[in-house]
Amino acid sequence: MNGDGTTTTPANPRPRTVLYVAGSESAASDGAAQLEAHPSGPKRSVHAITAVERVRSWAPEADCVVFAETPTTAAGSALLEVVDACGATPVILFTESSFAPTAARSTGGIDGYVRRDTDDAVAHLADEIEWVCRGENGATADADTETEPETDSEDDVIAMGGERAPSTGDPADSTGPAARLLESVPELVACRDRDRLFELLVESAADALERESCWLSTVHFGEFTPRATAPTVSEADLEPLSREGPLGEALRTGEVLRIDDITADDRLPTPLEGIASLCCVPVGDVGILQIAAAEQAAFDEGDCDLLATWCRGAAAVLERIDADASHDTARERLRRERDRLRTERDRIATERDRLRTLFANVPEPAVRYEIDDGRPIVRTVNDTFADVFGTDPEAIVGAPVDEDTVPPGLEARRATLLESLRAGERRQFVSRRVTDDGVREFLLTLVPVEAGASGDAATDENGAERTPDHNPEGLIVYSDVTEANRREREAAAAEARLETIAELVDDDIRTPLNVARGYLELAAETGDPEHFAEVDDAQERLRELVDQLVAIARRDDVLVETEPVAVHDVARRAWVAVDTGDARLVTRAANDRVLEADKARLRELFEHLLQAVVDGAEEDADAEIGAGDAGDGAPVVTVGATEDGFYVARRTPDGDAATVDDGLETNAVPGRLAAADGTGFGLGTVERIADAHGWSVGVAEDDDRVAFAFRGVNGGGGDAAAKSDR
């Protein structure tokens, strides 16, 4: 103070450096310009800022930071980030009156509060800046400086000095509890470990309030268990407390629990010897920070508010640490999943390369396919396929597996074949196919890369659904089994001949031998020459049977050469060669079949079959005449084609031809013929010729109809001669 009673403002060697923070460039620029131009107080250099990172860079060199947004708005949501970025630089909240002084006081790190919706808001802000800056520098406030007006209500407050005691000029004023906690803010914010955060929380609270007894208890299995303690406190001296008590209520409500005289308060037991008062502050929903003192009523409202603010900040950092840990766990899980998928991708690629290498070297015809959108698509064929079937690879590559790759004879099973390809099943099919060497028999083998690869979403080892990053693929391999089947038929034919010989020897040769032996014995006893004549007849019968046995043993029922043959043409030629009487032959040209067969053997089959059918019709007619029914017409013999073969049917003139044909066209004829099956037709030759071609034979018969169906006949289709009647 001067001798005239006035106060001289200390000289300021440089202008005040103020950072004016707002949500938009225009608001920041306008506010900074108004504050810098205002004449109140010493000269100021005000900088407009909108980014938190710029605050972090410039705050250490500034005297003060003004946050000119309301925290409850979107633009003001960055308040806590700005406070963290400011560090030890004081922060003044320049906001609307809706954010009350009480809220400002409860917000950690706010050193001043000014309402900006008053007439002299900028002047009040300039005064608050000087008040805060002088208080931070320990200078004596000017006696003429405008101070905070007295008000009846905190809603009328224009400026507030924040959480600080009036300056006394003592340098120790700037090192109070709040200042000491603020010094720990950077380390608290930078903390990345839960345990270190708990230790820092306890250490900082104990240092700020200058108390030695401080600890943090966290919830563990329904109890508050000591987690971090000050250096002078041992965890062994602290007993776990139930969460059902007052500490649990404080944790649930978030309210500070203060006990001024713990010896007279039965809500909590005395935690340590020599403790008289206790302050318990919730840390989020994790635990309770407890600080104790040896004297009673050692903590006031200011201490409680300061610790509550500190614990809220620690809880926010803890949430960030937990979130980071969760993100790290998720990232690690994703990294492991990525590595697993890469390994799986590499395995699939290796398997695919191996498959393609094998495919290129497969000595048999093969097609490589991929399942694309549920459809098997031909991707390539090997050179053997093109050579054997005379197919241009470009004509079928990229097309669905269909007519060009499904061989003739599998049309009825195409749906089964395609479903097996889609399901990734390993299956085999037998078929005949035209090649450059004629009709050959093939065994089709489906070889999927992965079993069950149907194009649906796959699952990982945890059962989680995942989408495959590749199209399932596989091979269709054509194995030529023509020679193997030929040898099998040769063996079957030889076995059949041996069985026939054995039957003839057992049934037909034994009887003449017994007869000859019997008559020789009679001739020796009686000398009657007639007995020798009987022996001679028996020997003649034996010679005939032996010739028959030799013929059977030398018969070759295995086909040597085949050629395309029209069924109707062979049937008509055989019809001319047999005695058919009044019977008529009908061939249906609309559904004739051209097949691969031994033409001479097929004609022999038709001759035997047509003769047996006509003879059977005549026997039935004689039986009817003998019974008194003369009949009224000749039988009709029909030769036609079915889906997988052909048929020969006989009906009386009154019979229903359509019924016979429909039944055969739907393959309804049951059974298989045998050389002595009891049908009375004597068709052993027919069956042997059919077996030589690999066909099966079935028969159906009723009162006025009989039909023989030959199945498993695979050959090229075609038009035959026109319909003819004889």
Task: Compute the mean pLDDT over every residue in the chain, rounded to the nearest whole number.
Answer: 77
| Helix %, strand %, coil % of the chain (to 5) | 45, 20, 35
Mark whether 446 and 502 lie in a shared domain. Answer: no
pLDDT at residue 479 above 90?
A: no
Q: CA 88 to CA 179: how far, in whole Å?
A: 8
Q: What is the pTM of this model?
A: 0.37
Place of tokens 């938190």: 52
- List helix spans (H) across 66-190: 79-86, 101-106, 121-137, 177-190
State the CATH number of the domain containing residue 371: 3.30.450.20
Q: Please check whether residues 407 and 282 belong to one and the same domain.
A: no
Give, as one character, the DSSP assignment of residue 298: -
One domain for residues 476 and 492: no
The sheet with strand 112-115 has its strands ordered as 44-49, 16-21, 64-67, 91-95, 112-115, 159-160
Residue 113's pLDDT band, with cuts at 50, 70 and 90, is: confident
**Mean pLDDT to the nearest integer, 283-287:** 92
Structure tokens at 624: 């009817």
Same domain, 398 and 379: yes
In a domain, 336, yes or no: no
Q: Scanning the structure block, which residue is given the tokens 């199209």?
A: 471
Would you state the pLDDT for residue 555?
Answer: 62
**Number of domains the chain is built from:** 5
> Does the pLDDT value for residue 410 go beyond 80?
no
Question: Residue 436: what pLDDT?
Answer: 75
Residue 602 and residue 700 in one domain: yes
Assess if residue 8 is contained within a domain. Answer: no
Find the helix or strand (DSSP H, E) in which 241 lies. Answer: strand 241-242
- pLDDT tens per residue, range 314-370: 999 999 998 888 898 899 999 999 999 999 999 888 887 887 777 777 788 888 888
Residue 429 CA to residue 410 CA, distance in Å, equals 8
Q: pLDDT class for 726, splitting at 50, 70, 90?
A: very low
Domain stop point among 171, 201, 226: 171
Looking at residues 712-724, what average pLDDT do you find?
Answer: 46
CATH code for position 232 = 3.30.450.40
34 & 120 share domain: yes
Indicate whether 726 belongs to any domain.
no
> What DSSP line would sit under 156-212, residue for residue?
G--EE--S-PPP-S-GGGGGSHHHHHHHHHHHHHH---HHHHHHHHHHHHHHHHT-S
Mean pLDDT computed over 95-106: 67
Whether residues 676 and 530 fall in one domain: no
- CATH number of the domain enclosing 128: 3.40.50.2300
Tokens coding 287: 């635990």
Residue 517 has a pLDDT of 78
Residue 10 lies in a domain: no
**Residues 27 and 156 reside in one and the same domain:** yes
| Over residues 130-137, mean pLDDT | 74
Instruction: Tell me, yes or no, whether 134 and 238 share the same domain.
Output: no
195 plus 166 within the same structural domain: no
Residues 705 and 571 in one domain: yes
With a pLDDT cut of 90, the percent of the chain lying above it is 22
pLDDT confidence of residue 76: 83
> Where does the pLDDT of residue 461 fall: very low under 50, low under 70, confident under 90, or very high at 90 and above?
very low
Residue 655's pLDDT band, with cuts at 50, 70 and 90, is low
Give the separation between CA 495 and CA 557, rounded to whole angstroms.
Answer: 11
Please give the Cα distance from 701 to 699 (Å, whole number): 7
Phi (first) and psi of residue 677, to 5 degrees: -95, 5
- CATH number for 597: 3.30.565.10
Q: Strand, coil or helix: what is 431?
A: strand
What's the CA gap between 296 and 276, in Å, rounded?
Answer: 5
Average of pLDDT values for 216-237?
91
Same domain, residue pair 377 and 449? yes
3-class secondary structure, 657: helix
Q: What are phi and psi of 165, to 5 degrees?
A: -85, 155
The winner for highest mean pLDDT among 108-112, 233-237, 361-365 is 233-237
Whether 126 maps to a domain, the answer reads yes
Tell me the one-letter amino acid at 486: R
CA atoms within 13 A on the CB side of 76: 15
248: in domain: yes
**pLDDT at residue 466 greater than cutoff 50:** no
Nearest-angstrom CA–CA distance, 447 and 477: 8
Enumerate the H helices of 475-566 as residue ranges.
Answer: 482-504, 510-526, 529-554
For residues 385-400, give the mean pLDDT. Answer: 81
What is the C-alpha radius of gyration for the chain, rounded to an integer number of angstroms?
55
Contact 75/122 with Cβ under 8 angstroms? Answer: no
Give the integer Cα–Cα distance in Å for 559 and 487.
11
CA 647/CA 640 separation, integer angstroms = 6
Q: Which residues constitute the domain of residue 518?
A: 486-554
Q: Please, are residues 541 and 507 in contact by the beta-carbon 8 Å criterion?
A: no
